[in-house]
Amino acid sequence: MTAATAVRADKDERLRHELGLLYSEVALEIRRRSPRAEQPGAISRAVDALASPVRGVAGQFEKDAPALALEGLGRLSLALRRLTGRDVIDLNALLEISMFFYRQRELAMRGPNYEVDEFGFDQEWTDSLLPFFRWVYRNYWRVETTGLEHVPSEGRALLVSNHSGVLPFDATMIKTALLEEHPAPRHARALVATFFFQLPVLSWFLRRSGQTVGHPDDSVRLLERDDLVLVFPEGVKGTGKGWRERYKLRRFGRGGFVQVAIRARAPIIPVSVVGAEEIYPMIGNLTPVAKLIGFPYYPITPFYPWLGVLGMIPLPSKWRIQFHPPIRTDLRNPDDANDQNLVMTVSDQVRDTIQRGIYENLKLRKHAYLA
């Protein structure tokens, strides 16, 4: 046996050992957490006597299915490695995926007594989603993030970003960057347009994962709790930009976000996002359909609605996110929030900083879908 073969065999054995341990832990945990069946009545016992053999096999399979699937995929991964000499199935990714689904099952069994804050934020559940968004962040959109040193490790700050992409995935990637790459991982509470909270499933997900409606009073309350708050002054006009208008910022309104920052004595950190414009290239807008269903826009992309549900899969564009140095609105007197000239001056400064950052990162990115 050569040295290389011995090393590979040793590595395979260690992987097989780790897989076996995980299999045992998952199987034991699933059995331990499975709710006990209630004691049946007299009639039910007769039915159970006939059905118990089938139910027993089915029940045991249901309990062991996640662990058996994990073991089977692990064996397949090792076999493919021996045949091809390389990792066809990434075992680390496989383990992460398995634990992700196991964690979701575990959280689903918490019952109604789980903890949320006054805005409906379930941090334990949100943290469990990080492995999925981490994979999207690193492997699908391949996000490169700079300037995280400008985001404080503690205390309040208002993050202000450009907005695009039809659906608010840019908020998700900014939040993932702060959790995945910041030396002191932090949740950012995104302020989302009312429109998105009118969509049945999305509204539930947004509130559960820490987002809230973009009302000034809620913004101040969050900042006064020393949270990071993420706002998109372009609103739905930003997410609904056409392809020809990509990366050209819309108006920032009357500077309401600046008033919030001054009132709460929070610094403003401008954020430039490149990449979201290309996930759903919006080449048209069916305005009559949008008005009919109450949407601010109804996008036409190269793939939607032509491919149906498949056309809703976002494209794997290359992303760059830059956090800029803070604008020190926290040093101003709260009464300055009533000075409209000052507010608009700061708003224009934030907008210009984000726009310059977009152009600089477009040059660094070079291609929308490669690299």
Please write the tens of the pLDDT for every residue from 95-121.
777 777 778 888 888 877 788 888 889
Confidence (pLDDT) at 17: 59
Query: Closest Cα to residue 261, out of 368, 159, 365?
Result: 159
Confidence (pLDDT) at 271: 98
Confidence (pLDDT) at 34: 43
**Count of Cβ atoms closer than 10 Å to residue 299 Cβ:** 20
Q: Is the pLDDT of residue 163 over 60?
A: yes
List, edge to edge, every strand of the sheet that includes 188-192: 144-146, 320-323, 268-274, 157-161, 228-231, 188-192, 212-213
SS3 assignment, position 337: helix
Q: Which amino acid, one-letter code, is at 330?
A: D
Query: Closest Cα to residue 258, out of 178, 327, 352, 357?
Result: 327
Pull the structure tokens for residue 222: 């969050």
Beta-strand relationship, 299-300 and 228-231: unpaired
pTM for the full predicted model: 0.77
Q: Is the pLDDT of residue 286 over 60?
A: yes
Distances (CA, A) of 165 to 28, 241, 265, 315, 362: 44, 8, 31, 10, 16
Q: What is the pLDDT of residues 20-32, one digit of tens each?
A: 555 555 445 444 5
